Structure 1
């Protein structure tokens, strides 16, 4: 007697949407809005019709993918998970890595797809600066500037290093950016009365 394999449980609409969004993001970076529903279905391992049971149209799917990447909540969770007892250098590197990963994906999508979805708000940028400052606060005595100012610098440098049009030339890696943020270009500030 043969036993029939159990049928896979059906996914909720939310789970189906999430699975499709996971598949579509890299395709959008590669193909932009020209990506086909067939390509999306093949990448997600589903039938093409399943896309339209989760989303009303391809445009709605693309907007949902953009909104997902612009959603600040995953970044908030990643920052909150950073170990505040870790050395300052490790925390700064972690911040640089998280920021660059977020900025790079958003800019890659916007370059391929265009500006769809809600634009990042100014309030979110200020909130992120505040969250970064909290990660720096345990080392207040080591910082040459207030944590909020240091956080602003880290965010600006990570942003600039994530945009290919700005970095023209050799790419920066997270270690190099972290060293530049922490130690500057000359390694230490010159003393006002130092003799040359």
Structure 2
């Protein structure tokens, strides 16, 4: 008797959407929004037409993929896990390292997101993600906030600003500007101690 190849059962539409999004994210890191539907289909192991069975356009798939890739859940969990009994400077340095890592990892995706027509769900989700990240970072700072001249939310905003400028700005140096250095700049400024 001849062995017949068994067909893999078809995925439900939501499972197919998820699989296509998962296959698209690494391609966006590599190619940005110039990724082709052929590349996506190959990575997902499906026919190119399958994409359009669950997404209206390539752009809608790209937007959904960027939204998932920029989800802050993993970074928020790591921020939440920072031991609040550690000194404020140490907590902030750890938080800065986490934020730097997140921004470095997603730099290509942020560039891709800026190239997309920014309407609909993507800008709303990006704003919501920023607010979630800001709230988690503020919580890290709250214990010991009496040592600071500014409220925890303002300090969180400044730390995010420094990390963002260091990753995305034209004068950034993410490889040589550690979380500890970022926090030193934020807490101590640039003057050497004992100078005016």
Contact 2:72 2:132 in 1 (8 A): no
Contact 1:66 1:109 in 2 (8 A): yes
SS of the equivalent of 1:172 reads coil
Alignment of 1:108-147 (within 5 A): 108-112=108-112, 114-117=115-118, 118-119=122-123, 120-121=126-127, 125=130, 128-147=133-152
SS of the equivalent of 2:160 reads helix
Q: 1:157 aligns with which of 119, 142, 162?
A: 162
Alpha-carbon distance in 2 for matches of 1:100, 1:170: 10
Q: 1:148 aligns with which of 153, 166, 186?
A: 153
Alpha-carbon distance in 1 for matches of 2:154, 2:52: 47
The structural deviation recorded for 1:170 is 7.0
| Aligned residue number for residue 62 of structure 1 | 62
Cα deviation digits, residues 144-191 of structure 1 (max 9, x gap): 543223212211111111104242797523343244334443464x4x
Alpha-carbon distance in 2 for matches of 1:70, 1:169: 19
TM-score by length of 1: 0.69
Between Structure 1 and Structure 2, how many residues are aligned? Answer: 190
Which segment is superposed worse, 56-65 or 126-135? 126-135
Structure 1: which 5+ residue stretches go unaligned? Answer: none
SS of the equivalent of 2:170 reads helix
Which segment is superposed worse, 155-164 or 101-110? 101-110
TM-score by length of 2: 0.69
Alpha-carbon distance in 2 for matches of 1:75, 1:116: 27
Cα deviation digits, residues 82-131 of structure 1 (max 9, x gap): 3323443442233223333443455422424504453233x765554343
Structure 2: which 5+ residue stretches go unaligned? Answer: none
| Aligned residue number for residue 98 of structure 1 | 98
Alpha-carbon distance in 1 for matches of 2:35, 2:44: 13
Alpha-carbon distance in 2 for matches of 1:79, 1:14: 31
Which segment is superposed worse, 147-156 or 70-79? 70-79
SS of the equivalent of 1:165 reads coil
Which segment is superposed worse, 126-135 or 33-42? 126-135
